[in-house]
Amino acid sequence: MRQESFDFLQKYLNNPSPTGFEKEGQQIWLEYLKPYIDTHFVDTYGTVVGVINPEAEYKVVIEAHADEISYFVNFITESGFLYLRKNGGSDPLVAPSKRVNIHTKKGIVKAVFGWPAIHVRKPDQDKAPTIETVFLDCGAASKEEVEEMGIHVGSVVTFEDEFMVLNDKFYVGRALDNRIGGFMIAEVARRLQEEDKKLPFGLYIVNAVQEEIGLRGAEMIAHRIKPDVAIITDVTHDTQSPMYEKKTSGDLFCGKGPVITYGPAVQNNLRDLIIETAQSAEIPFQRAAATRATGTDTDAFAYSNAGVAAALISLPLKYMHTTVETVHKDDVQHVIDLIYETVLRIEDKQDFRYFS
């Protein structure tokens, strides 16, 4: 990876971008993207769209989502402890002893998820942490002291863990789900511009907000763009670590390539074009099956407007919704390559219908 791309990746991943509060991360992403697009727009809730060939009638979307799971302060005790609500699929099981940032108008306030020591816990207390039992300690001795720090009900809480490289093979950090996707689609746009590729259609590079609470950003922007085609990238589970049941979760590996999904929301002809592209370009890939929904922004685009030809290219990831989400460097490059090569194979006004 070139150094400028790597520097952007680190900066973008380390910046907090909690669901509903993605503004700063979106600004970082847009500044990186601007040299590679013709124009851009931002919607009411913060989804950012970079556009190449904005005057073209036929519209192709490549999309990722920008938000990360987090917490809200929900209750402040008289003695200064904070209880929380989830913002997205946050996992209280990984919270105890973690350090966090509480976002206030006065700036970041540091805090920790406290937990009783093993010496003093009673057997009936040795249960998995839940949202009702985890709490934050910000060093305050009273509710008034907490409020003087700028903390209030509704303040957003994110983990402070940052990006690292593991064994020179893996990228590790919080919120790779799915800002790594935003990085990958931005790299596609960069390659198109730097390699002077001329597209016969409009390409919309979409970094959507609020995926973690129900695909909401994609839902809104799909109705605004009204695309003809949408290629979504998100993460999926590597199932090789302990405790995964492959009979239900599939047999997927970090390091063996992008995952192409089969399912009702995935348009078969578009999916087949992606598979043919991978085979022709000698890009390794894996296959996965979805049930009623993919659980990604693919669903929001597929079922928008009069129906959009949509497909999903996933990045295998270990330890989803933890602070050590892990992806293989090769897979990141192969997802970029696959989206790039597929975009070049789409024809102007291509009809993806099964028959007419």
Which one is the CATH code of 3-68+174-345: 3.40.50.300, 3.40.50.620, 3.40.630.10, 3.90.1150.10?
3.40.630.10
d(CA 172, CA 228): 35
Q: Using CA of residue 172, residue 175, residue 178, residue 182, what is the dihedral sign?
A: negative
d(CA 185, CA 226): 19
Fill in the DSSP letter of residue 42.
E
Contact call for residues 315 and 339 (beta carbons, < 8 A)? no
**Domain ranges for the chain:** 3-68+174-345, 70-159
Q: What is the predicted pLDDT for the residue at 112?
A: 98
Question: Closest Cα partner for 202 from 171, 233, 227, 222?
Answer: 227
Architecture label for domain 70-159: Beta Barrel (2.40)
d(CA 274, CA 281): 10
* 105 alpha-carbon distance from chain centroid: 26
Give the pLDDT band (50/70/90) at residue 127: confident
d(CA 134, CA 90): 12
Q: What is the predicted pLDDT for the residue at 248?
A: 94
What angle do the packed helices 23-33 and 3-14 form, to 10 degrees?
A: 170
Q: Which two tokens stand for residue 236?
A: 């999926």
211 counts as catalytic: yes
3-68+174-345 shares its CATH topology with 70-159: no
- Residue 67: is its pLDDT beyond 80? yes
- Residue 122: is its pLDDT beyond 90? no
Question: Closest Cα partner for 327 from 236, 242, 247?
Answer: 236
**Cβ contacts of residue 118 below 8 Å, gap of 6+?**
none
Q: How would you classify the pairing of strands 170-173 and 202-208? A: unpaired
Known binding residues for Zn(2+): 65, 177, 212, 234, 321
- Residue 126: is its pLDDT beyond 90? no
Q: Which two tokens stand for residue 7?
A: 């520097």
Q: What is the pLDDT of residues 6-57, one digit of tens each?
A: 999 999 999 999 999 999 999 999 999 999 999 999 999 999 999 999 999 9
Q: What is the predicted pLDDT for the residue at 167?
A: 98
Burial (Cβ within 10 Å: 0-12, 13-18, ≥19) of residue 86 = middle
**Cβ contacts of residue 144 below 8 Å, gap of 6+?**
none
Cα-only R_g, the chain = 21
Question: Closest Cα partner for 346 from 88, 58, 9, 32?
Answer: 58
Q: Is the pTM of this model over 0.95?
A: yes
Q: 107-131 burial string, b = 16+ CB within 10 Å, else e?
A: eebebbbebeeeeeeeeeeeeebee
Question: Closest Cα partner for 87 from 39, 159, 152?
Answer: 159
Q: What is the pLDDT of residues 233-275, one digit of tens each?
A: 999 999 999 999 999 999 999 999 999 999 999 999 999 999 9
Choose the catalytic residue: 211, 219, 245, 325. Answer: 211
Contact call for residues 11 and 162 (beta carbons, < 8 A)? no
Cβ atoms within 10 A of the Cβ of 75, count?
12
Contact call for residues 126 and 119 (beta carbons, < 8 A)? no
φ/ψ region of 48 (left if φ > 0, alpha if ψ in -120 to 50, else beta) reads beta
- Residue 125: is its pLDDT beyond 80? no
Q: What whole-number percentage of the chain has pLDDT above 70? A: 100
Q: Using CA of residue 260, residue 262, residue 265, residue 266, what is the dihedral sign?
A: positive
Q: Which residues pair with 101 in a beta bridge?
A: 110, 158
